[in-house]
Structure 1
Amino acid sequence: MNDTRDRIVAAATAIVVEGLETRPSVRAVAARAGVGASTLRHHFPTQRELLETVWEKMFSDQYPDERIHDTSVPARERLLECLMNLLTPIGEGGQAREFWVQLLRSFEGIVSNTRTKSALADFSRGADARVESWLDVLSAEGAVAPGDRSRQVLFLLTVIDGVAIGRAMPASGDLDRARERGVLEDAIDAVLTP
């Protein structure tokens, strides 16, 4: 990326991360990046393109995936590592419960707030794109079973969601890492070639 484009993405990302706006306006991003609106539009003709770039940057920063490309490590192990990284911010036990409480509080009123719904949809698309990119890498190596890619992505993310919620449930006896790993390995085996 060039310096101006980097500044625009950094400004938009900062606005989202700081919670100032879930879908930052062109004017706010341009002002924060120190560029004119026309310069921003030159680099990002639509707000959707800007937001997709922001979500990709946020996912890349939060969930590094360089090892997905390391063919010296078995595909199953690389995908497991990437999926486990998705669980890192959630924590375990009390920390996981607090994570879910805060998440649910932050989305109170989501039904009536179109901007919040749009931000959540953007986040969901970002997660889908991230997992799909991992499967694309492994597919190019012949490691992914044939099938509907979007369904494979949904399946893996649904399992991740279940494990994440399981971490927060006190009745589950706080899932241990070995059981989590086993569940994720079962899910991975369902999408990789035998």
Structure 2
Amino acid sequence: MGSSTRDKILIAAAEMLGEDAGSTLSVRAVAARAGVSTGSLRHFFPTQRALRDAVLAGIYDYIASGDEIHDRSIPARDRLAGCLRQVLTPGGELRAAWVKVFEAFLVPEPTGETDAAYLAMEREGLRRVESWLAVLVREGALPEGDNTRRARFLNTVLNGLSIERALPHDDALLTSETETLYGAVDAVLEGLL
């Protein structure tokens, strides 16, 4: 059975993001790569933001389907810290990722397209952390509260840790990073946010 038009569009857009994380996913380029008309693309995704959000959500859902956040045999604190640690890619890869972000979003003058691309990635990062927090709320390990605020706090911590890891550092960094990560998790789980 062949892929649906919507699936073809999402696959083409995901491939484009895989090749260039800073890609703006122009309607024409994605439609051409998917082998569909721009009208068909607009039928499923009326805006570039809708397209980018759907692609990033799909990528995350695929990658995160086996998240340890669902493994109740592990304490909630360790599950959340483990999921957050997934975001911190190994040293050299993280440096390369930050260089790409810098070149795509900080070097050029801001435009509506670059702003939208970055904000879409930021929204998806928040969505990912909020989904982990929602699991913990559902099981009673985390009190009801503003998960968006909590996710913003945790993402800010992750951003700082990732920049720190991308820069030159000594061997003590991983110990310090773990302490910081658990401190942030504790702040959230103890209802300080």
- Structure 1 and Structure 2 fold alike (TM over 0.5): yes
Match of 1:163 in 2: 161
Offset from partner CA, 1:60-100 (integer Å, 9 cap, x none) = 45556532222232221211111001001xx22x6654543
2:178 pairs with one of 181, 187, 193: 181
Write out aligned runs for 1:59-138 (5 A): 59-61=60-62, 65-88=66-89, 91-92=90-91, 96-138=94-136
2:137 equivalent to 1:139? yes
Contact 2:22 2:104 in 1 (8 A): no
Offset from partner CA, 1:38-77 (integer Å, 9 cap, x none) = 3323333333221101112333455565322222322212
Contact 2:88 2:94 in 1 (8 A): no
**Offset at residue 168 of structure 1 (A):** 3.0
2:151 equivalent to 1:153? yes
Contact 1:9 1:54 in 2 (8 A): yes
Contact 1:80 1:188 in 2 (8 A): yes
- Number of paired residues? 189
**Offset at residue 106 of structure 1 (A):** 3.0
Contact 1:96 1:168 in 2 (8 A): yes
Aligned-residue identity in percent: 42
Q: 1:3 is matched by which residue type in structure 2?
A: S
The TM-score with structure 2 as length reference comes to 0.82
Cα distance in 2 for partners of 1:62, 1:175 equals: 30
What secondary structure is seen at the aligned counterpart in 1 of 2:77?
Answer: helix
Write out aligned runs for 1:40-59 (5 A): 40-59=41-60
Cα distance in 2 for partners of 1:20, 1:181 equals: 27
Cα distance in 2 for partners of 1:84, 1:20 equals: 20
Seen in structure 2, the aligned counterparts of structure 1 residues 4 and 123 have a Cα distance that, compared at 3 Å, is: same
**Offset at residue 117 of structure 1 (A):** 1.6
Seen in structure 2, the aligned counterparts of structure 1 residues 96 and 30 have a Cα distance that, compared at 3 Å, is: closer
Q: 2:126 is matched by which residue type in structure 1?
A: D
Match of 1:26 in 2: 27
**Offset at residue 162 of structure 1 (A):** 1.6
**Offset at residue 161 of structure 1 (A):** 1.3
Offset from partner CA, 1:99-155 (integer Å, 9 cap, x none) = 434432333444433311211111111111111111111111112234322221111
**Offset at residue 30 of structure 1 (A):** 1.8
Seen in structure 2, the aligned counterparts of structure 1 residues 136 and 29 have a Cα distance that, compared at 3 Å, is: same
> Gaps (5+ residues) in structure 1?
none
